Chain A
Amino acid sequence: MNQARTIVEKVWDAHVVAENPGAPTLLYIDLHLVHEVTSPQAFEGLRRRGLKVRRPEHTLATTDHNVPTTGRGLPIANETSAKQIAQLERNCEEFGVTCYGLASQRQGIVHVIGPELGLTQPGMTIVCGDSHTATHGALGALAFGIGTSEVEQVLATQCLLQRKPKSFRVEVNGALRPGVTAKDVILALIAKIGTGGGTGCVFEYRGSTIRALSMEERMTVTNMSIEAGARAGLVAPDAVTFEYLFGRPYAPHGADWDRAISRWRQLASDEGASYDKQVEIDADQLEPMITFGTSPGMGIPITGAIPDPSAIADPIERESVRKALRYMDLEGGKPLLGHRVNVVFVGSCTNGRLADLRQAASVLKGRKVSPHVRTLIVPGSYEVKRLAEAEGLDQIFGAAGAEWREAGCSMCLAMNDDRLEPGEYCVATSNRNFEGRQGPGGRTFLASPLTAAASAVAGVVTDVRTML
């Protein structure tokens, strides 16, 4: 009888190509997602060595980081962005890789379109030159971000050299109260274990709260695994997963579907499987969460007070929080509720899916955003945009005075023209509040789409529960 294994061990074991003495495991990669920012030097490396893409049919590219979210029909105004986007399309053409570029109705943020197209499937190994690749773990795939050297290795060999990660069981139990979302669950986890708490580990999210989340909500949770230091985070596939995947363009069909389901059912961690680390979260106690600082771990319940750095014992940690508060121009001990907001951004691979837009619309319906708040609603993909428009969400956003944009990464990382001005405060549904992330000098409060929409209406940081 085999030893009890976790889902990660099962996926890992099924992808071992070779174990050579003195070297890490050679692991096979089922799906390689590629975007314009972290791939040009990798394709150039192939060219220099005279190599091909080994499995173009296991590779898919799209443009997302740099793309404008306005005026799709027009040439891209920013010359360097235009050059990088054109380079990806040329590279894909030369190496025979499918690219859903700006002209495609399948374009979108790489972590939105993978699941949406049914490319992301349980039990797969998935990589991308992007740290938010962990998103795909929501469907039970072992998915992690890699650097450009590794992008080149996967393009050339479909393999990576990897050491087996430690396992970290994240147990989330209880019913979420009204106004509390998947985003609040993950922000609470990161605040609890810190931005380095999961280093060297892969999370497995378990428990009644996770089971009760929809597929899109699970993706919000797994997406931010990296913000707690874990390269990957998985949820074992269940009926929610299968229902989500059924009928999607690249999902198995007919008899293949039945075979796939029976295979996927075997993936859940065995009873008695052991984990290197674990943490528990009581979800029924959670409040809406918001970050006050410049690291995703600097989060508090929305009714809480900003921590006072002088109460922190460790000198470097104390100075880090002081530096963050200086950058944010905030004072320890004060509440964040009622703080002025200049911009609200709803979108990104964390919260740019249909369920997220519905959340924002539920607050904005019949209300107006504050006249001094610029509100950007950016769908995660062309398909999300189409579906949102089909149910009239764009009308709700428009009537509320918010801007409805084209798909892309947008103001999550400000590589296109969507960015904060120095000193501006933004409630953002994205994943990182790093200094300058949304534009040099910009200041980010990370929160859920509900909190973001409520803050857009009030013009200040707001507890959405007062508007439900």
Chain B
Amino acid sequence: MKPFTKFESRLVPLAIDNVDTDQIIPARFLKTISKEGLGDQLFCDWRYDAEGRPKPDFILNQPRARGAEILLAGDNFGCGSSREHAPWALTQFGFRAVVSTSFADIFRQNSLKNSLLPIVVPREIHAELFALPPEATLGVDLAAQTLTLPDGRAIEFPVDSFAKHCLLEGVDELGYILQQETAIANYEARGAFAINTLRSSA
């Protein structure tokens, strides 16, 4: 994983609460056995009409979305299915952060594992962000845990300390767990396992 660096970007506002992962990437695109090629299908059913033509009124099809790296979303973003295809699609489109008042648990965890930063801000800041002009840019600094507004105010946001460390240093979580081999082996040596799916008598 590449280290997560500071950046500045315009916002793509999507003022809808409870956006579910079925909207972020519909289930019919989950038949892939690869992680790639999902960016074009991001928000597919909101973004394209039945003939596959881009809908001009959808925000991702507007000039302001081009090159933007921050999605400004409604409350409880990423609810529903556990599909990691959702952060894959968002990052492949070019997003590096999503700003909201809250995120669904599984989506948040999946995002952090894919260098997509979920940023929770207070309600009043959230409302202010939606009122910004299209050309406004925000600064994202994970090390300082701040979101910098166009007027220079730096808004602090929470982030899990371990996830922050992994993102900033580009640490691979599986690599970290593999280093815990002794602890895992010790745990296994203690326990009598209740199940065995390979048991022939079952």
Contacts and interface: CB of A to CB of B under 8 A. Distances in A.
Interface of B is mostly: loop
Contacts, number: 213
A73 B183 CA distance: 47
Contacts of A359: none
Contacts of A41: 33-35, 84
A317 to B, nearest CB: 6
Contacts of A60: 197
Contact of B31 (A23, A84, A149, A297): A84
Interface of A: 17-18, 20, 22-24, 26, 28, 30-31, 37-38, 40-41, 44-45, 49, 56-60, 65-66, 78, 80-81, 83-84, 87, 96-98, 117, 119, 121, 124, 129-131, 145-150, 152-153, 156-159, 161, 163, 194-196, 199-200, 226-227, 229, 231, 249-250, 252, 260, 295, 297, 316-317, 319-320, 323, 413-415, 422, 432, 434-437, 440-441
Contacts of A227: 80
A80 B23 CA distance: 21
Interface residues of B, number: 59
Contacts of A78: 31
A226 B78 CA distance: 12
Contacts of B197: 56-60, 97-98, 119, 250
Interface stretch (B12-20, B89-97, B136-144, B147-155): B12-20
Given A157-B174, A434-B20, A434-B22, 5 more contacts: A58-B197, A83-B31, A229-B76, A250-B202, A435-B45
A24 B161 CA distance: 9
Interface of B: 15-18, 20, 22-23, 26-28, 30-35, 45, 50, 74-76, 79-84, 102-106, 109-110, 113-114, 160-162, 165, 173-174, 176-178, 180, 183-184, 187-188, 191, 193-199, 202
B194 to A, nearest CB: 6
A146 B27 contact: no
A199 B101 CA distance: 12
Nearest to A27: B187
9 smallest beta-carbon distances between A and B, as pairs: A196-B76, A147-B84, A147-B110, A40-B33, A145-B82, A18-B183, A80-B31, A131-B82, A148-B84
